[in-house]
Each structure stands twice: as structure tokens, then as C-alpha cells.
Structure 1
Amino acid sequence: MTRRTTTSLTTLAATGFLASMAAAQGFNDAAPNGAAYDQTPAFEGQTRAPMLDSTGLQQQVLVEGLEHPWGLQELPDGNWLITERPGRMRIYTTDGTLSEPIQGLPEVDARDQGGLHDVSVADDFADTRRVWWTYAEPRGDGTNATAVATGILSEDGTTMDDVQRIWQQQPAWASTKHFGARIVHDGEGHIFVGLGERSDPEPRQYAQDPQATLGKIIRINATDGTPAGAGIEGALPEIWSIGHRNIQGAAMGPDGQLWMNEHGPKGGDELNAVEGGLNYGWPLATYGTDYSGAQMGATQVEGTEQPVYYWDPSPAISGMAFYDGDMFPDWQGDALIGGLRSGDIIRLELDGTTVTGEARLAQGIGRVREVEVAQDGALVVITDEENGRLVRLTPEG
């Protein structure tokens, strides 16, 4: 993986994150036509990889009428857990029915980008029936923050029992944006959670603060939320990496590499192969521009990592999976990423951590919030809309 520099997080913490930011940032004249400034990729293939042939896909709508669905998880019996941002979790069953909302979930702050977000289970779900989810937790006086909860799904699928909130993001903020918050199991009893930095100019500075969990990836013990971070000197013990904007997709690669993608501001969506203890740049470094049109710092800043790949203009990337099924044998090991603004599925061909090709699939399908590979090798996606859909995709013909 190509790095921006080798300065450690400890150095940034010791010198003061706000001072580091002030030295790196600058706001100049707006870029023409909303395009990025005179940017040069840090290495060949970092953006605009060769376009691959697009595979024809047959679409089967399984469910319509979902209200801004966000999280999707297949269960061992072939049923699917689906979350809806207003705070509902439902089960889509193999016989084609959609359940009533599961009872017992905590209150969410569902304003704007808030609400109920990701849902995940571990490999032992058939025995434990344990479920994890992330949500925007109301904290009083209009503030909120991302939280992680876990519970036991009843045998009949109607109730979440023994619900416990096991982790809270700090500090809470009066914002309705950039909560994150994808969950990835590492197979060793921990979960990674990718967290947003709450969007506004003031809280986004905390993405570089090792004593806050805004704009971070954390790792915690899955059972009780106790810290299991990267052991960064001067940082909170659950922090795995810093300098993230708004993580919307995450997956463990076939070789055990952790991958997360995040929205840039205006352009500059990033795909990162994440390593513990490193700084991924935001808001010091970005390939995007501010929504106002102002330039945001630089693309390469000492002490921060380069993204493996970036997009400009932004497709507003979201959920992520690695293909490991039988229906599309040529896709083995490829990354599949949802496109919200682009309304498609982005397939990336990879050689290690190098992107060697990009294809756009199912163009026009809608705002793809999450992508999953079903047990039979089909793709299953949800579209984040007022009339959201659960859609199954198979080879055309």
C-alpha cells in the first residue's frame, strides 16, 4: 500500500491536532465548474482505472415500500435482516414475506441522515442468534452520536431480547449528518466500526484528535464493547485508525485485509485498505473540494496515508462486499461497491491493493446503499429511497 508519509500518530498527538490542521489547510478561489483543482494522483492507477466490460444483470425486485433501508445481512437459513432508518428492523424470509418490525430495539434519532444503520451477525449466529447494529443515539438537547448495540433475536424472529448498548461515540454533537457506521467482524471476537465526523466544520476537526472517536475506525470486543484498538500512544484505547470523513462501506477481504470506503466532500470518495495505527488524512488531505467551492487543503500531507483509489466526480459510494460466489466466476475476489448518486454497482478488479479495472453494473437501479453476496452467489442490494427496494441480481439470461 502506498503511503503519504511515515510520520506516526504519536507525533500528531504530541504536536496537537489543531495546530497540525491550521498549518495544512488553506481556502483559495473556487474550482471551475465544481471540478477538482489541479490534482495529480500520487501513483498510477489511483483513479480512473481502465473500464471493464459491464456484465448484463437480471433484476428481481423482492420487496418494495421500504423506508430508506440502510443495513442488510443474510442469515444462515437464507432469510435477510433489513434495517430502515426510522428505527425498524425486519426479516425478509425465503418464502417471500416481509415481517413486521422486530420489537425491543432502542430509540433512534432519525432526523436527516440519522436513524438505524448497519446490522451484522457473526458466523455462530445459528447457535447464538446474536445480532449487532449501529444507530444514531439521541443524547439530549438536540445532540446525538453513533452507538453500537447487541441483542438476541428470538427464535420466532419477532423480538430482540437482552438488548445492550455496548459502545458510544464521543463527543456527542448537535448534527444530523455523518454517523458512519459500518460493522465488520474480524473472526477473532472483535468488531470494527467505521465512524463519521459529523460533517460540520467544527466537529470535523476531531477526525484528527486521538482523544475523540469522531472520524475514526474503532475495534472493540464484540461481547461487551471493551476496547481492542491498535494501541496508539496518546489515543483512546478503542481507536484503530484516524482521519476518516464518513465511512459508508466496509468489508473484510478474502486475504483478511480490512477495507473501508468513505465519502469525500465534493469529489474525492475514497477506498482504503486500512491498517491499524495510521492516519487517513481527513480533513488535512482530500481529493475533493468543499461544497462551497473552496479548496480544502492538499491531496498529500505528511503523516497521512494515500487512498488505494479515489473517485472524482463522486459517485457517493456506500456498502461493500467482496465476491466469493459461483454465479459470476470471473469476479472472484473483486470488490463490489454501492453507488448512491451514481445509481449503480461499482465492480473493482484488484491485484492485491491495486485497482486494475472498474465496471459499472445495473446502471439506473437506484441509490444502492448496501451490496451483499447471497449464499447461492447472486447479488442482493437495497436502495436507499422513500420507496426503497430489496433487489436480487443474477446473470442476464
Structure 2
Amino acid sequence: MRIVILGAGQAAASMAARLRAKGHDGPLTVIGAEPVAPYQRPPLSKAYLLGQMGLDRLLLRAPEWWAEQRIELRLGETATAIDRAAKRVTTSAGQLPYDALALTLGAAPRRLPAALGGDLPGTHVIRGLADVDALAAQMRPGRRLVVIGGGYIGLEAAAVARKLGLEVTLVEAAPRILGRVAAAETAEMIRALHLAHGVEILEGAPIQRIAGTTRAEGVALADGRQLPADLVVMGIGVLPETTLAATAGLTLQDGIATDAFGRTSDPAIWAAGDCASFPQPGGRLRLESVGGAIDMAECVADNMLGANRPYAARPWFWSDQFDAKLQIAGLNSGHDRIVTRPGDGQHGGSVWYFRDARLIAVDALNDARAYMIGKRLIEAGRSPDPDLIPSAPDLKALLA
């Protein structure tokens, strides 16, 4: 069986490794548009942007590993069409047949429209290696950075910029930062952390446009305020890469729709990672996380080889900002109760989310113990008494 994987990120690398580990001995090809072998993305906006990690440490596998595993790695090559009837992929370098095709195409960062200055020189997004290399070249002490968007990527960029000596203003259109992904209690901890390090945060501040003619010179807010800037980072989310799937006539639903096994509406085509949505209790879900990409890719690899194992998501995430680590287990959507527990340090603590008296998620800032215990409880389907969490002398007792 000839297997072709389109996309060369975390999901692709995990899937290819799993296929070989599970005994697939046939032709296996990974095609990626970027000119570099599969690499870790999370450190891009943290250690790599700070200059603390080089490209060699970003790579998911040593260069010789691909050859040893007899995996054909075709880089700098873009897939342009899928002929489902002929089972053939067309790329910028030619055509390639497949017996089974996997789409691990990831997601693309949103940009403001060109009419609002989103394409001006001096504007940046953070997703791939080239994005961060371009931004790093502009990160010099004393320069003024405006970050648009108060999600994790925007906050991480703001933290790195402050550590590098830039003056940073973060602008969030919604009433508060992290409004779509975390409780107000978590947002308050993160806000305090950034303010303590000198980041100016403007919430409830929609922007009008990025100002400038030949390059970005500032950000104009809807209320008339003008924020001067030498560079602008847009951290306003991502969109799943679905163009190729749409052109091929595959079903889309918040990404490339798959069944519980990772199979798309074409039984010979599979999908995994940030570009794929899958059924879960309560509706379809699409995860944007390293853990989700790895888990789903490995499950899909098993199913491509006949395992018929439904994918069960076990969501976990993290974000490094300044000297703090935010760790998240579970998904907090639909929560109806929140319980908080103070941490040991000035910037730390945990937020526990419940729905119908069931623990569904935990946010832990500088509190690895709360994260690990919360994660174990969620994965085991166990829920402690919410009233015991704030004052329990030892969180480990919640596992009893």
C-alpha cells in the first residue's frame, strides 16, 4: 500500500513514525510546502524567538532518521490538487499516486485585510519558521511593538518582546484577554503577570486599522486613539487549511470533517491535526494543540492499517509567558461552576471548571501539582467535591 501524507508538521511526523512502528512496509511519502523538515512549533514564539533555541533543536527527527525509516520526505513542494477517481495528487513538482492519502495540513494564521493595513511591511504573524525569523530580525530593544489580540499567541509574543527590551502594548477588542478560551479568573492571573513586567494591556479596544503608507507606523483604535508602533504582531487566531480538501469535494465542517476513525468523506482519504474536525460527545471538535496532533495522527495511522479504533481526545495545552507556565487539562466549554485555589507564589494558582458537578478542565499557572492531579482526575472520569479544592491541605487527597 502506497501512503502519501500531505503536510509536514507535527501530525505528519507522528503519523509517519507510527505507520513504520506498526509495521507498514510499503512506500511512504511526506510532502511539505516549507523547505525545512518537520519541526516543533510551540518554541517558535518562546525559546526560538528569544534566541535560546536553534533550528537543530527544533527538528522533530534527525535528518538521517527519515532515510533510515525509508520515508520519502519531499520539502518545498506544494500540493495543488487531488484526483480522487485516479487516486493521484498533483504538486508543484509533478504527480504522485496513492492508495491511502492523509491530510495533515495544519492551519494558517489570520491577518487583517489589506484594506486595514494587514499586509503592510512591519506587520507580522506567528505560525511558521519564516514568520518568526522575519519577526526576530525586527525585535530590537527600545522599539515599540503593538500586539493585536489577547489570546495565547499574542500574549506569548508580548512576553518575549518585553524580555528583549521592547516597549509593548497589547490590544484586545473583546472585554478581556483570553475571553474565548479561559475564565476571567485565569485571565486575571495572566493580566497581573504581564502588567508586572511592563506590558500595557488595552481591553475592550477594537482597532480601526494599522496605520501607515509604506510600512506600519501604528495602530488606530476605533475610539480615536493612535498607538505608535515600529512593528505590529497580529495574534488573531488561525483558520484550518481546507482549500485543497474543498477543491477535491471533501466534506468540511469547522475543518476537514472526519468520522470517529479519522476517515474523511472519501474512504481512501484521512485527516488529522489542526485541519481536522471529528465527532465527540456533544458535537464535533477541532483541536489546535501539539498533544491533539500527536494523539489523532497516531490513532489515524493505526486505523489506516486496519485497527478501527475510535479517536478519543484527551486535550491538554500549555503556554510559557515570562517565567511562568500555564498548563491546561481538558476543555472548559459549557462549564457552570468555577473553583479557584491559590498557588504558592505571587503569580500562580489554579482554576477548576465543573459542568453538572463533573470536573471538565483545569487551568494551572505555576502549579504543576494542580495540573497533574486535575489531568489524572479528568482522564479517569472522576470529580472531587468542588468545596474541598480551595482549602485541601494536599491536593493528592482528591485522588483517593
TM over 0.5: no
TM-score (norm: length of structure 1) = 0.25
Higher Rg: 2
TM-score (norm: length of structure 2) = 0.25
**Which of 1 and 2 has higher RCO (CA within 8 Å, sep 6+)?**
1
Q: Which has the higher strand share?
A: 1
